[in-house]
Amino acid sequence: MSIDVKALGKVAVLMGGTSAERQISLMSGTGVLAALQSQGVDAHAFDPAERELVELKHEGFARCFIALHGRHGEDGSVQGALELLGIPYTGSGVMASAIAMDKVMTKRVWIAEGLPTPRYVWLAPEQRSRERIRTVPDDLGLPLIVKPPREGSSIGISKVVGYSQMQGAVELAAKYDADVLCEEFIEGDEVTCPVLGQGTSARALPVIRIMAPASAYDYQNKYFTDDVKYQCPSGLPAAEEEEIQRIVVQAYRTLGCRGWGRADLMIRRSDRKAFLLEMNTSPGMTTHSLVPMSAKAAGLSYEALCVQILADAGLDATRASAA
């Protein structure tokens, strides 16, 4: 299906922003901007940290490609502002973005729908006495993962292997979020799987297997080294890959996602069961990013991927009235 790029109008690529992931967003946005321009799209960079969003309306932008990551870009905030301005945007709407940004709320929805996700303990500020923190491993076992529930890019995450590490891990996560999420550690293969589309037309792209040095798939290795190895095609048995894709599409639709997204999962080594970790509603689009890698394996170039995502831009209000 060919897309008339001229019909897309004047496009703002939203990048930068104010979250802890600003640097990654600038990298993603720069790549997207160049890709769209190379395809003849009238695309321009726009940093909400430096300009008021209302300028989008004043300057006649017809749609936005959201390349923002983290808070105020991926959490429903900018989506809500664009709804009020009446400017179609890429990716999920207000509710799905807000839920997916909060890993605890995401887990609650998935668990309610019978989808597999690791067991967890949520520590609100008033629940973080030393005594309570020390007992978390009794609930989840060791090792376990401690992270801020509303950050991405592995920011503020710790793997805890002993009781003595709990306090420091919780204090680190609390620097980034008022709440702290403690999660059962799933020993096994780390994989990720992107999704494109909406509703019954949503389809999963090929699964990517992630092999990090000493399992250190952290912020530095994700974006600034070539030490992490990726397999796409994943090399997993066909039935296993298909089951992961099925779970991911169900998880995506359950949250009400649209446009595009990417789910991260762990496959438990002992029984090969897949567990959902999180859903990214504004995934990275850097040279190290995974959605472009998966799309390429499916025969979709980086440039074509960017144009397709942009062409699917919409508004919650429009979709609701169409329904």
Residues that are catalytic: 21, 153, 223, 262, 264, 278, 280, 284
Buried b (16+ CB within 10 A) or exposed e, 151-173: bbbebbbbbbeeeebbeebbebb
Across-strand partners of 196?
A: 203, 260
Token pair, residue 217, equals: 């798939």
Are the C-beta atoms of 91 and 38 separated by less than 8 Å?
no
Cβ neighbours of 268 (radius 10 Å): 15
Token pair, residue 20, equals: 């802890």
DSSP element (H, E) containing 12: strand 10-14
Cβ neighbours of 187 (radius 10 Å): 11
**SS3 assignment, position 224:** coil
**SS3 assignment, position 265:** strand
Are the C-beta atoms of 293 and 193 separated by less than 8 Å?
no
DSSP element (H, E) containing 82: helix 77-85
